[in-house]
A and B are shown apart, each in its own frame.
Chain A
């Protein structure tokens, strides 16, 4: 119940929005002011997506009976 990413758009959501923005900008179905807005939004989304990708530690959890999760203990070898 505490998925911190629930409210924020996901990586997929951001990338999809980026595709929309690009196709609109490149197809030129927008007026100038809107094009400027799209450009700024696009740059922001790229920065956010890069932020997500910069994560370095894979988060691995184990789903316990009852729905709770616990860190997954990997066997080292």
Chain B
């Protein structure tokens, strides 16, 4: 059983819990490959997917996971809500919970928004991404996908390449990977690497080529222009030339590496199309595993109720 009633981030999750979620996800993945993909585990549990920020794959993935578990689901997005009329986050959520909702899957642009809510509400909260802070289910599905390819991650070299400064995927992955004993190297323009990130026990590089040579797997991140309130580099063209990865670079490596991306891909920027579609890529496996991991998280949290 998980130790916390919420999944707010990987920071407060121990390795045992990470492995429990992955193990449970493996079982659900097996279920998802059966002709009848639905299990009754969360029958009579109502889950609200509350998204204050745009999302396609994460929201669909959660919704599908909930439906596969037989939960009742309701969806809420900020654009069609009272938020625009000035309602506070707490009021909005309390109104939803008053309709007898048991669990909340929330995405919000403010770092710490689910942590703030967790101090005020009783329902289980799953953080589906809070601004530039954490995206725990993404890191868990990345762990699951990596383990499928590389086995135990202890001692493995994992690179995270791109806009680290604005990435919740990077931070959650760093926590998850370090807890499993992996070596983590971050690579990107120096302006997009947090200055104190080495305190998390990671290496920093600004050279993509040597980073690719070093790693067993590269998790390539999107340039998050929507989160960049000020300029960090001259242009996407220059970024693609300096930090973009193409298939030729992958094929010239002395060993085959695993290529990951949390999506959506900016083709031609961080990844060329031929790299994204190469045999190195497990990008669609990540998407598939996402449903199983989210089923596992929801199932394990519901067990605490």
Whether both chains belong to one complex is answered with no
Interface residues of A (CB under 8 A from B): none
